[in-house]
Structure 1
Amino acid sequence: MVKKILIIIFLLNSSFIYAQTIKTDILVIGGGASGTAAAIQGARSKLKTLLVEPGPWLGGSMTAGGMCVVEGNRNLPSGIWGEFRKHVRDFYKPRLGYDSTYNAVLRFEPYTGAAILKKITDTVKNLTVKLNTPWTAIEKDGTGWQVSIMVNNKSTTIKAKVVIDATETGDVAAKAGEAFVSGFDSALDTGEGLAPKEALPRVQDITWIAIVKDFGKTANKTIIKPEDYDAANYACLKGKDIAKMLNDGRLPNDKYMIKWAGCGNQYPTTADDLKPANRNAFYAKARLHTLGLVYYLQTELGFKNLGIDDEFPTPDHLPFIPYIREASRAKGLVRMTLNDVYDPYNQALKLYRTSIAVGDASPGQHYGEGTAPKTNYPSFTAYSVPLGAIVLKDLDNLLVTEKAMSVSHLVNASSMYPSVQMSIGQGAGATAAFCAFFKTTTKKLNVRIIQGELLDFKAWLLPFTDIKQSDPYFRSIQQVGATGLLKGVQQVNGNSAELLFMPDSIVNTAEVEPFFKEIYSRAFLWFNREKPAEKFTQGNLLSFISEITLTEPKALQISMQKAWKTQYKFTSDFDMNRPVTRREFAVLTNKFLNPFARTVDVTGRMLN
């Protein structure tokens, strides 16, 4: 009898343990910009995906942090970021005065942004989202991971094939044993000409943003004087054009985002301040500093009509989290530096070939005066983010986004931007899906399969701003661009620079000959025999295609002449003697030669 009772107890305990264990293909920890995008992409790639977020909202810095005036990537509406952007614009478009042009700065109320993201995730099959769900532990489980989360104050175990650390500060990777670096890298270490000679452990300051609302000229919304308030902390604001500063952060419905540098609500930060053990005490001080700014704005600068909006259900109505620009960075399979931004085609590692995301956010420099060297960035150009920057070198099947990525300090100043991170998150989701679907690890990634999946879901690999997604040959041009066969051209526009494909310009033989010779053995014979002139012609291209594909030249010419305007919709006349345009070249080489199919490793080196 006792034996039977013991067996029953054992079985009950076993079923209880089983009920507390959840198995999933992909676990995303952190529902910020990157985490939400990663979870959406993982699930859309038909892998079972679980997203856990300790707070009540999705969106991270953009929503829960109040950073809801988004300038970066407005010329690069890649994938899920472009989808979110369109939803926001469509929501506000009926509002009088809302700027919904193609590349306008995106402005939205934080709650609305969070609601839109939640609505998108609610429509995605294979995706489960758990808000208000903290995680407590992580440990290796075979090739995957075992993570403990708290659901209704009870511990639940998640067994995942792949984990994405999408926390703002890389907490998951740190708990798993990853070593981090922080602050300025030395020029000797990164090879960046703009980096200081010596490394400097200084990270960018955080900002606890405030969302205020204009309640009318006669209103008095003055808050209670904050603890330890000192008006001298904000005195540099006197004499400044406050109306303009407010207008820069204008939001719909008479609201304003206050994110002011200098003696505003920027708050001095160290990497240690952001560690879990120190975080809460540090955050409390930063919140008080922002409340002091609002009080100063109301009492010293005369804006009593501006009150903290009740958008956030926190005791002081400030955002749930601060806007964190920088924390500590992990060691990835590769490290992205400024050299990969400004001169991607002439680096030893061709990391642009492995791109999983695009960015163009202007790099910020938010430090207390005199506490860090000023970096004189040249006009900052749009760039590609390499796959290896999100893949940890020493921990399999654990990917990192946000500020934990393997980039230099000077690159993080741009890559940390929320809209860039949403693009990166989609890349991380596709990477995790690859590992889970093929039952493999991050040591055996296939760059081209991951990139192909991203293109299937309207993501950009190269930041060609002159080739819109509506272009019928968007994918062809993206694929050819990712090989380096045709390289982008940087065009400076003030403090920024676009990367252009220039589809109507002419292809030069010197541009394509090295690549052809690198991947096609018969190319040496063809160039020696044909000796094409400086400008590569339509006839040259068809002849080369014939050589590589072993197609009869005359038959290829006849079929191409028939299809030139009907099938391919080229606007120029078919003329074997005319120089071929970059669009024509990209479309035809992609179709007949498919250079994108040539395998590359995570450093961008051609294989096979």
Structure 2
Amino acid sequence: MTKKLPVLLFILFFVATTFAETIKTNVLVVGGTASGTAAAVQSARSKVKTMLIEPGPWLGGEMTAGGMCILEGNKTMPSGVWGEFRSKVNEFYRHQPGFDTSATAPVRFEPFVGAAILKKLCDTVKNLTVKLKTPYTDVKKDGDGWEVTVTIDNKPVTIKAKVLVDATPWADLATKAGAVMTSGFDSRAETGEALAPEKALPLIEDVTWVAVVKDYGKTAHYLMPKPEDYDPSRYACLKGMDINKMLQGAKLPNSKYMIKWGECANSYGITVEDLSPEKREAFYKKLRLHTMGMIYFLQNEMGFKNIGIDDREFGSSDNLPYIPFIREYRRMTGDVRMTLNEIYTPYANNLYRTSIGVGDAGFGQHYEDPEAPKTNYPPLPAYTIPLGAIVCRNVTNLFVTEKGMSTTHLVNASTFYPSVQMTLGQGVGAAAAYCVFFEKTTKTLDVRTIQTEILDYHGMLYSFADVPVTDKYFRSLEQISATGLIKLVQETKGRTAQTLFKPDSVISTADVKPMLMDLYTRAFIWFGRNKPGEQFTVANLLSFICDQTLTDPKSFQMMMQNQWQDVYKFSKPFDMDRPCTRYEFAVLMNKYVNPFKTKVDVNGKVVN
């Protein structure tokens, strides 16, 4: 017995260490970016065991670790996880003099504060494990699930998951997993976008290594050593610019500034090959030196000796952000591809019905290459992002976000924006959790169930500039918008555009008849019997509801008359003969008939 004990201990140790090298989870999110963090939070809140791994030391991706900490996109859409983050930033700085917490103000924060807020948020979520400083090396299929190799404490570890979310800026895992990828300008024939070039072009937007600098006082000299390979001619165009004005536009709390300037400043022309895993680190070194050279130029050639890189913001050797701000790289082929047509003519197809997020970040056009086309985008309205754009077409149980999601080049110029991605990430998390909770795959997604989960956690599927999220029936309007019974209206004024619900406008019969006929088999009989006029009246609405719910008309009319203003708080008085408003129609149809329950597929087609 004594001689066998060491052998037994060895076996037990071997089994224990072998077990420790494999971790099991339901949803694995790779990349603690804006979308990755939101996806992990939502997946875990949906009662699914979730793990989030991030190679770097911070959560937030480019909006924290990349220093992109002034966010103007989605600033009036405080939905879900993005709304929580914005609220916590405002709460942190609310006592600081001059800090703007108004609803329309851009979100400004110090990067380390943003990262700390996200980490604290994740720490409060059950079912969520976060692993920072955890690089990934490989991925392979395991049936419908996944095995991802990572490094934890300098040791290789295998994470087994049912669903994988690639939320990295580069979509490296999705590429290794076999997703079909593309990059650069798509051709007009390929996408059907009138603004796309006639021929595809292998050009992508410039990358920027942001600098967070601090004003150390008018009398301070905070000069830095001359960077390697410094060439002042690279930054000569700055001499014709109003640097003080540019700094004011880049102002952060505590006398800091986010420098993310184009032309000859710290943006840099790039090719897809530059970002390849083999060349990425060498290219990153070049980018960092270019930004260091710009700061040196500002100090020594422009006289801003009091402006220096903040040496307490990041823990990097040169005090620059950990990662660059990448606008695009590779895009996967998804179940659907989001084009400009879904933004400017959303009702030309049915993808609007499958929305899992909203965006309104202005289109960027940053190209060092003078041959790059300049796109004359019309004013941008708030838009929706279809579910199929995050679902990999040829690989099961793989979702892809950030720059890797399935869009055209022209659409990516808005959807890549961090606050848009954080809004979208919540939808990604709900979709991933759906697959696990209902034991389904990405080939059998239930759009309405996923959308309901997003709404349950205060996410946003549609944005209306004329109806606040605090409205008592905001969710009813969201759900009716998803059916197409009421179509949103885009209005352009000068260089701006808005997406409106127009709650007080009246309903015409022509507006709703085609969709009612499509959704309800009894609608044909009702329209034939009642023959509503040009305008759909309150009487028509109540009659249709009674017909679908088999309710006694007189009793229902009496109840509605009593509750019209006391319960529903409708602004117009109860009058059976007047035209029904879009708001009244949405609220009552959603409550009593619930067209939102009608299933649609990933293309938005009604499933009977």
Q: TM-score range by the shorter chain?
A: over 0.9
Encode CA deviations 1:359-385: one digit per residue, 9 max, x unaligned.
000010000151310000001111000
Residue of structure 2 equivalent to 1:330: 332
Shift in Å at residue 533 of structure 1? 1.6
Measure, in 2, the Cα distance between the counterparts of 1:45 and 1:6: 45
State the 1:16 CA deviation: 2.0
Match of residue 267 from structure 1 = 268
- Counterpart-to-counterpart distance in 1, 2:5 and 2:254: 68
Q: Percent identity between the aligned chains? A: 59
**2:403 and 2:561 mapped to 1: Cα distance?**
52
Q: Which residue of 2 aligns with 1:527?
A: 527
Structure 2 SS opposite 1:425: helix
Are the counterparts in 2 of residues 213 and 255 from structure 1 also a CA contact under 8 Å?
yes
Cα pair distance change 1:575/1:208, threshold 3 Å: same
Residue 444 of structure 1 aligns to a residue whose secondary structure is coil
> 1:215 & 1:334 partners in 2: Cα distance?
50
Aligned to 2:565, the other structure's residue is in SS state helix
Q: 1:312 aligns with which of 314, 320, 336?
A: 314
- Taking the aligned partners of 2:513 and 2:519, their CA distance within structure 1 comes to 10
* Offset from partner CA, 1:345-368 (integer Å, 9 cap, x none): 123xx1110000000000100001
Q: CA deviation at 1:565?
A: 1.6
- Corresponding letter in the other structure for 2:586: A
Provide the C-alpha distance between the structure 2 equivalents of 1:336 and 1:225, rounded to a whole number of angstroms.
45
Amino acid at match of 2:575: D
Matched, 1:372 2:372: yes
**Partners of 1:84 and 1:492 in 2: CA distance:** 30
Q: Answer yes or no: is 1:229 the counterpart of 2:230.
A: yes
Distance in 2 (alpha carbons) for counterparts of 1:14 and 1:586: 60
Contact 1:458 1:469 in 2 (8 A): no
Q: Is the 8 A contact 2:269 2:369 kept in 1?
A: no
| Aligned match of 2:467 | 467
Query: Could you tell me which residue of structure 1 aligns to residue 109 of structure 2?
Result: 108
Q: CA deviation at 1:467?
A: 2.1
1:239-388 pair list within 5 angstroms? 239-310=240-311, 311-347=313-349, 350-388=350-388
Q: 2: CA distance between counterparts of 1:61 and 1:466? A: 31
Give the distance between the partners of 1:421 and 1:414, measured in 2 at CA.
10
Distance 2:188 2:432 in 1: 33
Return the offset for 1:529: 2.2
Stretch moving more, 8-17 or 37-46: 8-17
Shift of 1:5: 7.5
Cα distance in structure 2, aligned partners of 1:493 and 1:109: 34
Asked whether the equivalents of residues 362 and 496 of structure 1 are also in contact (C-alpha less than 8 Å), the reply is: no
Deviations 1:17-36 (A, max 9, x none): 11221111111100010000
- Structure 1 residue 465 displacement after superposition: 2.4
Aligned partners of 1:243, 1:493: CA distance in 2, in Å?
A: 31
**Residue 408 of structure 1 corresponds to which residue in structure 2?**
408
8 Å CA contact retained: 1:76, 1:465: no
1:358 partner SS: strand
2:555 matched to 1:547? Answer: no
SS, match of residue 279 in structure 2:
helix
Corresponding residue for 1:177? 178
SS of residue matched to 2:246 = helix
Residues 130, 280 of structure 1: alpha-carbon distance in 2 compared, 3 angstrom cutoff: same
Q: Distance in 2 between matches of 1:175 and 1:50?
A: 20
- What do the CA deviations read for 1:385-438 (whole angstroms, capped 9, x no partner)? 000000001111111000000000000000000000001111110001000111
Contact 2:52 2:130 in 1 (8 A): yes
Aligned counterparts of 2:466 and 2:92: Cα–Cα separation in 1 = 27
Structure 2 CA distance for aligned equivalents of residues 340 and 571 of structure 1 = 33
What is the CA deviation profile of residues 500-527 of structure 1, one whole-angstrom value per residue up to 9, with x for unaligned ones? 1111111111111110011111212222
Residues 548-597 of structure 1 show CA distances to partners (whole Å, capped at 9, x for unaligned) of 22212111111111121222121221110011111110000001111100
Total equivalences in the alignment: 606
Give structure 1 regions of 4+ aligned residues with deviation exceeding 6 angstroms: 1-8
Q: Letter of the aligned partner of 1:343 in structure 2?
A: T
Q: CA deviation at 1:8?
A: 6.3
**1:118 counterpart = 2:127:** no
Question: What are the residue-to-residue correspondences of 1:210-229 with 2, within 5 Å?
Answer: 210-229=211-230
Q: Distance in 2 between matches of 1:251 and 1:492?
A: 32
Decide which moves more: 443-452 or 544-553.
Answer: 544-553
Deviations 1:431-459 (A, max 9, x none): 01000111111011000000000000001
Q: Secondary structure at the match of 2:341?
A: helix
Deviation at 1:323, TM superposition (A): 0.3
Cα distance in 2 between the residues matched to 1:497 and 1:381 = 5
Tell me the distance in 1 between the aligned counterparts of 2:12 and 2:219.
Answer: 70
Deviations 1:23-53 (A, max 9, x none): 1111110001000000110111111111100
Question: What secondary structure, in the 3-state scheme, does the structure 2 residue paired with 1:535 have?
Answer: coil
Tell me how large the CA RMSD over aligned residues is: 1.3
Q: Is the 8 A contact 1:183 1:409 kept in 2?
A: yes
Aligned: 1:163 with 2:164: yes
Deviations 1:227-255 (A, max 9, x none): 11111111111121111111111101111
Code of the residue aligned with 1:172 in structure 2: it is L
Residue equivalent to 1:395: 395
Secondary structure of 1:276's counterpart equals coil
Whether 1:573 and 2:565 are equivalent positions in the alignment is: no
One-letter amino acid matched to 1:224: P
Counterpart residue number, 1:495: 495
Distance 1:578 1:88 in 2: 47
Q: Helix, strand or coil: the match of 2:588?
A: helix
What is the CA distance between 1:534 and its match in structure 2?
1.7
1:75-224 alignment, distance < 5 Å = 75-224=76-225
Equivalent AA in structure 1 for residue 147 of structure 2: Q
Specify the code of the residue in structure 1 equivalent to 2:201: L
Describe the SS at the equivalent of 1:57: coil
Structure 2: distance between partners of 1:383 and 1:204: 22
Q: CA deviation at 1:496?
A: 3.2
CA distance in 1, matches of 2:244, 2:494: 25
Secondary structure of residue in 2 paired with 1:42: helix
TM-score calculated relative to the size of structure 1: 0.98
The AA in structure 1 aligned to 2:365 is Q
Deviation at 1:272, TM superposition (A): 1.2
Unaligned segments of structure 1, at least 5 residues = none
Cα deviation for residue 466 of structure 1 reads 2.1
Q: With structure 2 as the length reference, what TM-score do the two structures score?
A: 0.98
Q: Tell me how far 1:10 sits from its aligned partner.
A: 4.6
The answer (yes or no) to whether the contact 2:466–2:500 under 8 Å persists in 1 is: yes
**SS at structure 2 position matched to 1:431:** helix
Which 10-residue stretch deviates more, 54-63 or 562-571? 562-571
Counterpart residue identity of residue 511, structure 1: D
Measure, in 1, the Cα distance between the counterparts of 2:252 and 2:492.
30
Aligned residue for 1:565, secondary structure, equals coil
Q: 1:91 is aligned with what amino acid?
A: F
